[in-house]
Structure 1
Amino acid sequence: MSKSIAVIGAGWAGCAAAVELATAGHNITLYESSRTLGGRARAVDINGQLLDNGQHILLGAYSETLRMLQRVGVDADKALLRLPLQMRYPGNSDGMDFVAPRLPAPFHLIAALLRSKGLVGADKMALARFSSAARWMDWRLNTDCSVSELLQRFDQTERLIKLMWRPLCIAALNTPPERASAQIFLNVLRDSLGARRAASDMLIPRVDLSSLFPQQAAALIQQYGGAIKLGTTIKTIVRSGDGWRLTQDKAESEMYDAIVVATSASQAGSLLTDPAMAADIPAFEYEPITTCYLQYPSATKLDIPFYALNDDPEAQCWGQFVFDRGQLDATQSGLFAVVVSASTEAIALGHEALSAAIAKQLADALQMPHLATPEWRRVITEKRATFSCTPALQRPQEHTGLPGLVLAGDYLASDYPATLESAIRSGIKAAKLLNENLMSV
């Protein structure tokens, strides 16, 4: 039976939930307080170009994200650049060069390890030992600990930690290994390094993040008769009879049979005035992610689509990865995006000092002096990009115990950290729970 359902929040979780519910035959209204779809993974206007509020990499293991893209009509082969698993540093930067060939798993990793450059025998043995032990443990820990403790337990070399494990941990969990959850890190490795070869592929969006999924999701929802309300803030949610009453920022109210709260954890807590429910949403600590865009003459390019960088705060080297946007979108030739995850210390410098330091880091690492003086540079920081993914962190469930009300978001209980995949999975799970709940009424 068709029900009227409000989805509050048009991030990736909210859009996924709305798509599932609309295609199940329900009448959907998708509310978003901003004027742009996508939440914390969206497009922004920078110097007249639509760029992302943060450069993202997806993984081939993101099965639900890829399925959802297909469902809303996105051709992933065209919208995403698929690259084999790699950790490649610029030449002469005291880094490593690790590229997995397109061989069946696990031979692709064995071949990558044998062919890798910049690692000595002890480093390669440590990596092989870690991989074998993780598989033997079935990627599970009896008691969660920090990633640093896990790496010490398996005698990982200092160089391997610096060049591979630390950047992978920060990129995947947006939390430094000293306080990142080893179990969540192992989950990510299990579904990428420990799965079929394609699961470890790196997928880089060629289009902006709003265009990649949220806009396509909104179009599909409208095709099914749903409504999209941008620039509309929901102030209160109140149980009323057998339904729910939403009050908007202009004191207007609407009645719905059911609600999906797909906002951030803090916003969800402020909307849910029921004391028992509010107590179930913890006060998370958060980590920022910063992306520095630097525009150079259009002929400027990297040898490959992206490089890992040696970050060293003491040497004012903050960048961890640099992407050549021109190899993703021909209209962005000469535009580089440098990512600084877990960027609390970096953003304390201020935008001007940070962007200047990153430009100098690129010039030195790539041995291209002109990179120190870009035509323009812009720093974008998402201050609450993800929750801090610490060991044994208790995360709430989509189910609230309140009839016709579910949560959706990347902060909810999941095998994964706060990623696009965990957001999509949560949205799908929330929609399924709501469907089951409505059918039982």
Structure 2
Amino acid sequence: MMRKVAVIGGGWAGCAAGVELASTGAAVTLFESARTLGGRARVVDIDGRQLDNGQHILLGAYSESLRLMETVGLAADEVMLRLPLQMRYPAGTGMDFVTPRLPAPLHMLAGLLRASGLDRTDKLALARFSTTARWMDWTLYQDCSVSELLDRYDQTERLTRLMWRPLCVAALNTPPERASAQVFLHVLRDSLGARRAASDMLIPRVDLTALFPQHAGAFIEGHGGTLRLGAQVRRLVREDAYWRLEMNGAPQAGERFDAVVIATPPGNAASLLEGHAEIPSLSAFDYEPITTCYLQYEQGLALDHAFFALVDNPEHGEWGQFVFDRGRLDPARSGLLAVVVSASREAITPGHDTLAASLAAHLAKAFRRPELMHPLWSKIITEKRGTFSCRPSLSRPANDTGISGLALAGDYTACDYPATLESATRSGVQAARIVLDARS
């Protein structure tokens, strides 16, 4: 008999759960309170302009994200730009590190030998760190902060400033002083320590909704499922072996589900679980904001590469870890640059106009191009609860709630990765398999 499964939440985790369930023949109903699928990784309309609410880089190691994209009919190399692992700064401002297309670990060795902006001491420190991490199988006996880990292995100030700090802030959205070294090592394992193809960087050419959620929704509907957008689920009601959902205090008449996947933020999940299961770790999270600033210049303005790293110098009001040339990813976006400011709490305090002006000035100085001081327009998007603060030894809830037919999904659930598209996707797949196994 076909199982009826409700998925509550239409972010990447909920979409992944829905696709995994639908592909096995389950009848899926996906409930999303917003009018657009994608959660914290979607396109938004701002003053008539379609802009992503953030900028993401995926890795070749993101196996579940890539598998589900293929499942819903997407070719990864058509919707994303594939680049070798790299860390490139505007000329004269930092380092230039690009791995060639050689088998691992030769690609890392060759990239390190060719890297400019690092001296012999820096390169030896990086090689020593990578070798030791491999020997440890990228695992710590006891978690600590990223800063403590870097001090322990004598990483140089320049290497920390130009590589480790921006990688940590970008990947974990948490400053190295309070970020988990173990989670950071997991990220490095699948980038610096991975086979060459797994370490590739994948930058979306299309908007984030079109990258997966939109096609996931179509896949679910194409397999007999239903999407309910603008639908806020307030409460779960257990009736014998089935579940009913209450919408704004009213039960959905006639609808009973065999299983439910809760793919909402932790606070919402805790409310839905009230009276069914108590999971203390759902209330244990602190959050970090992420800000993306879009700067539109004249058509034809372009950077030399699709993206560059930036030297983040808060003491001098120079914010941002990476800048992306959206025109190189999509010609229709010619002249549009996107600057990402991770862990942006301090950066956004003076206000959006002040931050946009300082980012334009930072770009003009870094690229030595005065015209970057004067964009035609700018828009800032801040996700105030962009990700959980990825602290050492943080307790994250399992997908399995301990209740048959009820599972959690979200980038905050127990996983090797920090809050990324891949951790969200993996959790959705895992939650789907848990509720399917419950009645097999």
- 1:147–1:185: 8 Å Cα contact kept in structure 2? yes
> How many percent identity over aligned positions?
63
Q: 1:50 Cα deviation (Å)?
A: 2.1
CA distance in 2, matches of 1:234, 1:165: 41
The equivalent of 2:38 in structure 1 is 38
- Report the secondary structure of 1:141's partner residue: coil
Written as runs of structure 1 = structure 2, the 5 A alignment for 1:362-381 is 362-381=363-382
- Name the amino acid aligned to 1:126: A
**SS of equivalent to 1:192:** coil
1:146 equivalent in structure 2: 145
Give me the whole-angstrom Cα distance separating, in 1, the residues matched to 2:189 and 2:327.
32
Please name the residue that 1:256 is paired with.
Answer: 257
Is the contact between residue 235 and residue 249 of structure 2 (CA under 8 Å) also seen in structure 1? no
Is the CA contact 1:243–1:255 (under 8 Å) kept in the aligned structure 2?
yes
- In the TM superposition, what is the alpha-carbon distance from 1:44 to its structure 2 partner? 0.8
The code of the aligned residue for 1:115 comes to R
Tell me, yes or no, if the aligned pair for 1:266 and 1:283 is still in contact at 8 Å.
no
Q: Distance in 2 between matches of 1:219 and 1:201?
A: 28
Q: Which residue of 1 aligns with 2:101?
A: 102
Unaligned runs of 5+ residues in structure 1 are none
> Which residue of the partner structure matches residue 59 of structure 1?
59
Residue correspondence of structure 1 range 211-290 to structure 2 within 5 A: 211-249=210-248, 251-253=250-252, 254-274=255-275, 276-290=277-291
Q: 1:281 Cα shift? A: 2.0
Q: TM-score, normalised by structure 2?
A: 0.98
Does the 8 Å CA contact 2:32/2:229 hold for their aligned counterparts? yes
Is 1:193–1:199's contact at 8 Å kept on the other side of the alignment? Answer: no
Is residue 103 of structure 2 the alignment partner of residue 133 of structure 1?
Answer: no
Read off the aligned partner of 1:89 and give its amino acid letter.
Answer: Y
- For residues 56 and 292 of structure 1, the distance between their equivalents in structure 2, rounded to whole angstroms, comes to 13
Tell me the distance in 2 between the aligned counterparts of 1:144 and 1:371. 42
- Following superposition, the deviation at residue 275 of structure 1 comes to 6.6
Counterpart in the other structure of 1:315: 316
Instruction: Tell me the secondary structure at the aligned position of residue 179 of structure 1.
Output: coil
Give distance in 2, aligned partners of 1:354 and 1:150. Answer: 32
* Superimposed CA distance per residue, residues 74-104 of structure 1 (whole angstroms, 9 cap, x where no aligned partner): 01011000011111110122x0100001111
Cα shift at 1:136: 0.8
The one-letter code sitting in structure 2 at the alignment partner of 1:328 is L
Secondary structure of the equivalent of 1:374? coil
Which residue is 1:356 aligned to? 357
Residue-pair matches, total: 438
Residues 244, 251 of structure 2: 8 Å contact kept: no
How do 1:337-356 residues align onto structure 2 when only pairs under 5 Å count? 337-356=338-357
CA contact (8 A) 1:8 1:262 kept: yes
- Secondary structure class of the residue paired with 1:385: strand
Counterparts of 1:119-198 in structure 2, within 5 Å, are 119-198=118-197
The TM-score with structure 1 as length reference comes to 0.98
The answer to whether the 8 Å contact 1:291/1:337 transfers is yes
CA contact (8 A) 1:292 1:379 kept: yes
- Asked if 2 retains the 8 angstrom alpha-carbon contact of 1:29 and 1:227, the reply is yes
Q: CA deviation at 1:251?
A: 2.3
The equivalent residue for 1:413 is 414
Q: Secondary structure at the match of 1:207?
A: coil
Q: Name segments (4+ residues, structure 1) moved above 4 Å.
A: none
| CA distance in 1 between partners of 2:115 and 2:25 (Å) | 52
Kept in 2: contact 1:84–1:101 (CA 8 A): yes
**Larger mean Cα displacement after TM superposition, 128-137 or 38-47:** 38-47
Q: For residues 275 and 438 of structure 1, what CA distance do their matches in structure 2 show? A: 19
Of 227-236 and 46-55, more deviation after overlay is shown by 46-55
Where structure 2 has 5 or more consecutive residues not aligned to the other structure, the ranges are none
Is 1:25–2:47 an aligned residue pair? no
Give, as a single letter, the amino acid of the residue that structure 2 aligns with 1:46. I
**In 2: Cα distance, 1:367 partner to 1:46 partner:** 30
State the secondary structure of the residue aligned to 1:64.
helix
Rounded to whole Å, the distance in 1 between the matches of 2:207 and 2:165 is 27
Partner of residue 3, structure 1 = 3
Once the 2 structures are TM-superposed, how far is the Cα of residue 404 of structure 1 from its aligned partner?
1.2
